[in-house]
Structure 1
Amino acid sequence: MLKILHASDLHYSPGNLVEADRCFGHAVEQAIAHDVAVAMLTGDLTDHALDGHSPALLALAKRIKQLADHCPVFLLQGTFSHEPVGLLKMLEMIGARHPIIVSDKIGMIGLSEGKWLEYDPTYTDVKYDLVITSVPTVNKAELALVVGADNASVEMGNHLAALLGLFGPANAALRRRGVPTVLASHGTVDGSLNESGVPMAGLDHEFSLGALFSAQTSATMLGHIHMHQQWTREHDGRTQRIAYPGSIGRYHYGELGEKFCLIWNVSAETADFTPVQTPSKRMIEIAFDGVPNLDELATVAEQCRDAFVRVRYSVDEEFVKTVDRQAIKQILGTAAEVKIEGEVLTIQRQRCAGISTLTSVEERFMRWCDFTNTPKDGLAERLSMLQTMAPEDIASAFALTNKRPGLSAPEPSGQPAQAIQPEPEFEDIGF
């Protein structure tokens, strides 16, 4: 059994430096404590391009050296937007006790006597401790040149499935020789869940479970998806496992579950792992359908101590100014961070075509009732009362009769109707 550290999606950057270094540092310490023989990092070590002298890249390099002083290290090329091509190559030049290799091409890499070398099936006298089938992030632009831009996303999965099947015989031969085998890749498995629990279903994902198992490796170590998950197959007298460790830290609100690195035990016949939880930060989300309730916030303030808190709310336009952002921050003052995100619900208006062409208020009112599906029974009589009677006469009429107001309107009292307003102007924007 070969013991392997598997971590992924470190996302070192200026904004993530504290979280990434704390969590990856813990993974490195656990790898040393468990005395792993190999460390494998499956992509997205950085969050974006970094300057060579940036604190984030220097911190990452120090952790890689700490790991490589203990065991050989394998680094896989991740998403190009996170790791621009060539960025990881400088890490190969770190002077450490054990070698570091960056895999940015599809192929097979062997570990023999503590050294990385390209696997050659014709060299049967080489004793391999491990053989890795490496499938780093594939450039869809190159595939688009062959199959066309419109078909590239869909055809990517088909081409990768065919490719993985071609590695099957070589890995089966290694199994017969008793050599542990691992498939390392970076991409999306169809049907996997993202960090928010949303199923990744579609025709444009890189891998299916069947395609990954067809490579005939004991273990498949993946990167890219930030939620830890696994799949197992018992086949042909052996156990095959596929797993994402998930991101090493928590970088976004709404991420579900804990964060892990994995300590694998891999042989030619089987593979298993132990999840090791990292000290990722706590993120709490509080949502209000309306103006945030300050009393309610006060009751959960203690639970938010030292956590990263996001308060979300949605309010109508007229209530925007009633939201006291400063009070929210004061109540949650013991939190490590407070983000307030508000959604303003704008008033929606509908056009009532032709209403401006009508000459009387009554006609316009009836048209509006038709347009809004408002029952009109008795409304015309009540509108007439509003136009011809004083407010006190209308109130007296309502108080003295049990009949529906407006069906038998009382005679005008002769007093001037003080509340009568000039007939309003209606525009063709809706009423």
Structure 2
Amino acid sequence: MVRIAHFSDLHYGPKNLIEADRCFGAAIDMAMASGVQAAVLSGDSTDHALDLHSPAAERLVAQVRRLADHCPVLLLQGTFSHEPPGTLSIFESLGGRYPVHVADQIGQVALMPNGCWQVSSSWRFDVLPDGLMALFSCVPTVNKAAVAATVGAGAAADALGEHLAFLLAGFAESHRRAQALAVPSIGVSHGTVFGCMSEHGVPMAGFDHEFTTGALFAAEAQAFMLGHIHRHQAWDCEGRHGQQRIAYAGSIGRFHYGEDGDKGWLLWEVDAASAVCALRPTPARRTVDIVFEGKPDLDALRDAVAQQDVAGAFVRVRWTVADEDRHEVNREAIQQALGAAAEVKLEGRIVPVVRTRAAGISQMSSLEQKVTAWAKATDAKAEPLLDCLGELYRAPPHTIAERVLDGEDAFWV
């Protein structure tokens, strides 16, 4: 059996640096205390291209070096918009106690007893290395643009899924040979599984997703460690190849409002016949959403604050108001009510006023005609409006004012 720490979606960058570094640092401490024998980072370690002199790059390099001083590390290429090709190459030169292998091409790598990585010369091993401790099959992010350029944009989604399924099935032979030697086999990839849940609770059911659970299980690896989706979730299969498990570690921290579930890393225990994993939560920031259908009610807001602890939390307040009421929202009072929060984000949705134009109304000679045309255009009753207009013509202003002051039921009520 081999114990593996599975981290994913660190998203180091200026915006996420504090959250990512606090959570990843805590995760490394827990992983080392758990005695893991290897570590896997399954993509999107950076949020975008980073300059080497940036604080985010410095902290990420320092943390990976700290991890490499404890165990061998496997870094997988993630989404190109987050990790441009070549971003991870620097990590192979860290010089830790154990090596860092960057998996930026499809292939297999063997974990050897001395803690070194032995890389296949092609997409898989023809002959497994002698004495290997574990076999990893790596499928980094596939360039969809290259697939589209080859088969056409319309057929790219289906072609990508079919080719990846064919590739995964091709790894099965190596995995069976490893199992015959009582060696654990592990798949590592970065992409979307059809039917998985996003961190906001939305099912991912499009036609352009890379994997299905059937294709992943067909690789016949005991464990399949995935990145890209920020929500931890897992699928199990019990069959003639033993117990198989597919799992997303989820993001290391909470980088967006409205994300469901705990954030953390996975502690895997994998042998030649089974794989189990457990989520180890990190000290991710707490987020709170307070939503108003209309204008924010300060009393309701204070009640919500009294009912839940917002001290140190990141709070987002949302509301929806008509355009003419937008200036009635007291943003300063909302900020004061949430003074104990670490951050307050105010998001107001303004519903614009929609005016219906009555064709030709400007050419009409009398006000009665214009009121009638407007009532027809807006689906309103014209008679009460015309009565009101006639009363305004007949009654002098002081008479109308007296009626209002005396509280009489007048025509305008």
TM-score after normalising by structure 2 = 0.90
Counterpart in the other structure of 1:115? 116
The Cα shift of 1:51 comes to: 1.2
The Cα shift of 1:74 comes to: 0.5
The partner residue of 1:387 within 386, 393, 398 is: 393
Maintained 8 Å contact 2:295/2:320: yes
The Cα shift of 1:338 comes to: 1.5
The partner residue of 1:304 within 298, 303, 310 is: 310
Report whether the alignment pairs 1:67 with 2:67. Answer: yes
The Cα shift of 1:144 comes to: 2.0
The Cα shift of 1:377 comes to: 5.6
Q: 1:349 to 1:277 in 2, by over 3 A?
A: same
Q: Could you tell which deviates more after superposition, 254-263 or 166-175? A: 166-175
Structure 2 counterparts to residues 138-287 of structure 1, below 5 A = 138-236=142-240, 238-287=242-291
Q: 1:367 to 1:124 in 2, by over 3 A?
A: closer
Q: Which amino acid aligns with 2:361?
A: I
Please state whether the residue corresponding to 1:329 is helix, strand or coil: helix
Structure 1, gaps ≥5 residues long: 406-431
The Cα shift of 1:16 comes to: 1.4
The Cα shift of 1:41 comes to: 0.6
Q: CA RMSD in A?
A: 2.5
Counterpart in the other structure of 1:9? 9
The Cα shift of 1:99 comes to: 1.2
Q: Which 4+ runs in 1 deviate beyond 4 A?
A: 376-383, 389-396
The Cα shift of 1:354 comes to: 3.2
Distance 2:49 2:384 in 1: 71
Counterpart in the other structure of 2:372? 366
Q: Could you tell which deviates more after superposition, 286-295 or 191-200? A: 286-295
Maintained 8 Å contact 1:385/1:394: no
Q: Which amino acid aligns with 1:345?
A: V
Maintained 8 Å contact 1:239/1:271: yes
Distance 2:394 2:401 in 1: 10
Counterpart in the other structure of 1:88? 88
The Cα shift of 1:19 comes to: 1.0
Maintained 8 Å contact 2:323/2:351: yes
The Cα shift of 1:254 comes to: 0.9
Q: 1:137 to 1:393 in 2, by over 3 A?
A: closer
Q: Which amino acid aligns with 1:104?
A: D
Counterpart in the other structure of 1:428? none
Distance 2:126 2:160 in 1: 30
Maintained 8 Å contact 2:356/2:378: no
Q: Percent identity?
A: 47
Deviations, residues 234-260 of structure 1 (Å, cap 9, x unaligned):
122511111001000011111111102
Distance 1:125 1:338 in 2: 55
Deviations, residues 119-140 of structure 1 (Å, cap 9, x unaligned):
4644356122111110000111
Distance 1:380 1:297 in 2: 44
Q: Could you tell which deviates more after superposition, 381-390 or 122-131? A: 381-390
Deviations, residues 294-318 of structure 1 (Å, cap 9, x unaligned):
3333334462111111222222233
Maintained 8 Å contact 1:286/1:312: yes
Please state whether the residue corresponding to 1:289 is helix, strand or coil: coil
Please state whether the residue corresponding to 1:200 is helix, strand or coil: coil
Q: 1:393 to 1:284 in 2, by over 3 A?
A: closer
Counterpart in the other structure of 2:327? 321
Distance 1:28 1:161 in 2: 33
Q: What is the aligned residue count?
A: 401
Report whether the alignment pairs 1:352 with 2:370. Answer: no
Q: Could you tell which deviates more after superposition, 148-157 or 228-237? A: 148-157
The Cα shift of 1:352 comes to: 1.8
Counterpart in the other structure of 1:341? 347
The Cα shift of 1:198 comes to: 0.9
The Cα shift of 1:335 comes to: 1.4
Maintained 8 Å contact 1:129/1:180: yes
The Cα shift of 1:176 comes to: 2.2
Distance 2:401 2:49 in 1: 75
The Cα shift of 1:337 comes to: 1.3
Maintained 8 Å contact 2:356/2:377: no
Report whether the alignment pairs 1:106 with 2:106. Answer: yes
Counterpart in the other structure of 1:43? 43
Distance 2:38 2:388 in 1: 85
Structure of larger gyration radius: 1
Distance 1:351 1:232 in 2: 61
Structure 2, gaps ≥5 residues long: none
Deviations, residues 143-192 of structure 1 (Å, cap 9, x unaligned):
12210234323422222122212222222222222221111000111111
Distance 1:56 1:394 in 2: 69
Distance 2:152 2:61 in 1: 39
Distance 1:161 1:125 in 2: 25
Deviations, residues 4-55 of structure 1 (Å, cap 9, x unaligned):
1011001111221211111111111111111111111100111111111222
Distance 1:49 1:380 in 2: 67
Please state whether the residue corresponding to 2:153 is helix, strand or coil: coil
Structure 2 counterparts to residues 15-34 of structure 1, below 5 A = 15-34=15-34
Distance 1:387 1:203 in 2: 66
Please state whether the residue corresponding to 1:151 is helix, strand or coil: helix
Maintained 8 Å contact 2:371/2:382: no
Maintained 8 Å contact 2:220/2:241: no
The partner residue of 2:298 within 282, 294, 298 is: 294
Please state whether the residue corresponding to 1:261 is helix, strand or coil: strand
Q: Could you tell which deviates more after superposition, 243-252 or 306-315? A: 306-315
Please state whether the residue corresponding to 1:162 is helix, strand or coil: helix
Q: 1:333 to 1:80 in 2, by over 3 A?
A: same
